[in-house]
Amino acid sequence: MKKIVALDIGGTSIKYGIVSEVGEILFQSEKPTNALRGGAFLMKTVEEIVETLLAQENNFVGIGVSTAGQIAPETGEVVFANENLPGWTGMKIRENLENMFHLPTFVENDVNAAALGELWVGAGKGKKDFLCITVGTGVGGAIVMNGQIYHGATGSAGEFGHLLLKKGGYLCNCGQRGCFEQYASTGALIRHVQSLYVERGENVTEPINGKWIFEQAAIGNAVCQEGIEYFIDHLAVGLATLVHIFNPSLIVIGGGVSGQGHPLLQQINKKVESYIMPSYREPLMIDFAKCGNGAGMLGAAYGLLNQIG
């Protein structure tokens, strides 16, 4: 059976492992990114991981890399990475790995790779066209068209998190104001719940995070319930915009909130329906991602298999 070395490089950790040609993760581990040590150090870490994996087994047909940052699809080079991965911009990941290991290498942005993972063995299996949105600290997106990622002019299509939702709204880390992710991420949910507590003059001793808010809401905490309503409402407004542009039959929601299960999914569905024209409702399904945190590795492996044909 063919095997692929797969890596998923994030701001805090690098997940890595071995993926089979039918989309099983045969081995998985992770190590810290140590992003602050810079791009060259990170590239060296990646090379060491690949070297170790290649020494373990045979039958490798290539290397698949999912990474944070905007990636040029043809060259596998980092077009832009933000301050979470200093010195990563400009890194020729594909060229470096192909020169060193003489194996075909595929490199893709992490959200796009996660979408490919869902397309291969997850919520998008059997679909040719769908949208993926990851809702975590920020909001990411990917557009799958005809079984492939739609990249746009510079490889950056699908940045749903920076849809303009509110003119003059909260300042976003992209430099603009009022971006979608400032209202519909877990980061935004936490900020909103904190502000509700401040308004009420109440003190919370526990650290407020997304998991805590959902747990509290489930046991009747009115402040957390109000926060979640705000979050769902803004998420639905952004999704409604996407629905009117793409008329999709499927939107896959990944990231931290996808662990929340059916009740949240139903509320999102209902709210989105209320914001879209009837003709868009019937074909539309909104579902949670199914590949968990292995999605990036799976998608990187799938991309590699497609690349080598």
Residue 180 CB, nearest approach to Zn ion (Å): 8
- Count each helix (H run) and each strand (E run) in the chain, helices first: 9, 12
Residue 170 CB, nearest approach to Zn ion (Å): 9
Residue 184 CB, nearest approach to Zn ion (Å): 12
Token pair of 71, please?
């990636």
- Which CB sits closer to Zn ion, 147 or 152? 152
User: Mask: binding to Zn ion, 89-128, rule CB under 5 A, as x and -?
Assistant: ----------------------------------------
- Which CB sits closer to Zn ion, 127 or 166? 166
Residue 42 CB, nearest approach to Zn ion (Å): 25
- Which CB sits closer to Zn ion, 178 or 292? 178
Q: How many residues bind Zn ion (CB under 5 A)?
A: 5
- Which CB sits closer to Zn ion, 84 or 148? 84
Q: What angle do helix axes 210-218 and 222-246 make, rounded to 10 degrees?
A: 110
- Which CB sits closer to Zn ion, 151 or 162? 162
- Which CB sits closer to Zn ion, 18 or 179? 179
Interface with Zn ion, residue 174, by CB under 5 A: yes
Single-letter amino acid code for the residue at 34: N
Token pair of 255, please?
């990231």
Residue carrying the six token digits 């810290």: 32
Strand runs (DSSP E) across the chain, as ranges?
Answer: 3-9, 13-20, 25-32, 60-67, 70-72, 77-80, 105-109, 130-135, 139-145, 148-149, 250-254, 285-288
Strands 60-67 and 105-109: parallel
CA distances, 304 to each of 127, 131, 256 (Å): 19, 21, 26
Q: What angle do helix axes 295-308 and 110-121 make, rounded to 10 degrees?
A: 80
Interface with Zn ion, residue 61, by CB under 5 A: no
- Which CB sits closer to Zn ion, 117 or 140? 140
User: Would you tell me how many other CB atoms lie within 10 Å of the CB of residue 145?
Assistant: 14
Interface with Zn ion, residue 162, by CB under 5 A: yes
Terminal C-alpha separation, the chain: 16
Q: CA 231, 218, 141: angle at the middle one, nearest 5?
A: 35
- Sole window of 168-176, 213-221, 246-254, 271-279 interacting with Zn ion (rule: CB under 5 A): 168-176
Interface with Zn ion, residue 164, by CB under 5 A: no
Interface with Zn ion, residue 172, by CB under 5 A: yes
User: Mask: binding to Zn ion, 179-198, rule CB under 5 A, as x and -?
Assistant: x-------------------
Interface with Zn ion, residue 79, by CB under 5 A: no
Residue 162 CB, nearest approach to Zn ion (Å): 4
Residue 279 CB, nearest approach to Zn ion (Å): 30
Identify whether the C-beta of residue 63 lies closer than 8 Å to the C-beta of residue 101.
Answer: yes
Interface ranges with Zn ion (CB under 5 A): 162, 172, 174, 176, 179
